[in-house]
Amino acid sequence: MRLVRTDSHNIDFKKLVEELDAYLVITDGEEHEFYDQFNKLNHIKHVVLCYYRDSILAGCGAIKEYDSQTVEVKRMYTVTGFRNTGVASSILKEVEHGLKNCPTIDVF
């Protein structure tokens, strides 16, 4: 497993976001339009991608900054075939590791 830090302009991240959005259309059902407004990529500057065997895209996670002290974990997604393999946990740990170097912030 290889973790890569990038930003929201990354092509692989955008590909996974498209998969996540398609998945959310189904799981959100009739409430999708409401929830979709909160899932835009603006203000997302920090992204972690996970690759299996260095080249197979397995998942992603991101941080949305609200202000200098508040961030939110966003766009967490694991490709179906990689679920329950530790991909999401690895991504979240990498995101949290990056936050340790920041001044005092609240994560929600």
pLDDT tens, position by position, 27-66: 999 999 999 999 999 889 899 999 998 899 999 999 998 8
- What does the pLDDT read at residue 108? 55
pLDDT, residue 7, reads 93
Return the CATH number at 81.
3.40.630.30
Number of independent structural domains in the chain: 1
Give the pLDDT of residue 102: 59
pLDDT digits (tens, 9 = 90+) for 78-88: 999 999 999 99
- pLDDT given for residue 42 in this prediction: 85
Long-range Cβ contact pairs of 58-64 (< 8 A, separation 24 or more): 58/1, 58/82, 58/85, 58/87, 59/16, 59/87, 59/88, 59/91, 60/12, 60/13, 60/16, 60/17, 60/91, 61/88, 61/91, 61/92, 61/94, 61/95, 62/8, 62/13, 62/95, 63/95, 63/98, 63/99
Write out the residue range of the structural domain in which residue 91 sits.
2-107
Which of the two residues, 102 and 67, has the higher pLDDT score? 67
